[in-house]
Amino acid sequence: MAGVSLYLQRYLPARLPLSHSTQWSHSSLDLPSNRGFFLYFRSIIRKNAVFLTTIFAGAFAFELSFDTFSNKVWDSWNAGRQWKDIKPRYLVQAEEEDDD
């Protein structure tokens, strides 16, 4: 053990025990919090094509919902001041002027 003091060499094992790899076995996935991540990993992240398809589908759905929501907020904020709101008034005035 190069670089370790003599004091620590007495208390450290010469090599790591082989049982350290068992802490990441599938038996630890029996917990409810890990089960969800394991199922998520096995169903979505495991294959790159499925993972990228999920990302693009999620981005598309988010863009659609965000765009719809922001348009509704914009329309309610600017009600009566947009062209779609005042267009009928100008078309009626133009038709009346043409009749004269």
Domain harbouring 88, CATH code: 1.20.5.260
pLDDT of residue 10: 66
Residue 68 lies in a domain: yes
Domain membership flag for residue 12: no
- Asked if residue 15 is part of any domain, the answer here is no
Q: Give the 3-state secondary structure of residue 16.
A: coil
Residue 81 forms part of a structural domain: yes
Q: Which residue has the tokens 């060499």?
A: 9
- Condensed to tens digits (0 to 9), the pLDDT of residues 12-70 reads 666 655 555 545 555 555 555 677 777 877 888 888 898 899 999 999 999 999 999 99
Of 33, 36, 15, 34, give the one whose Cα is nearest residue 25. Answer: 34
Task: Answer whether residue 84 is part of any domain.
Answer: yes
- Taking CA atoms, 94 is separated from 5, 65, 83, 87, 99, in Å, by 95, 38, 15, 11, 9
Q: What is the pLDDT of residue 12?
A: 64
Work out how many domains the chain is built from and give that number: 1
| pLDDT, tens only, 78-87 | 999 999 999 9
Residue 90 resides in a domain: yes
The pLDDT value recorded for residue 95 is: 77
pLDDT at residue number 89? 87
Domain that holds residue 52: 35-100
Contact 6/17 with Cβ under 8 angstroms?
Answer: no
SS3 state of residue 6: helix
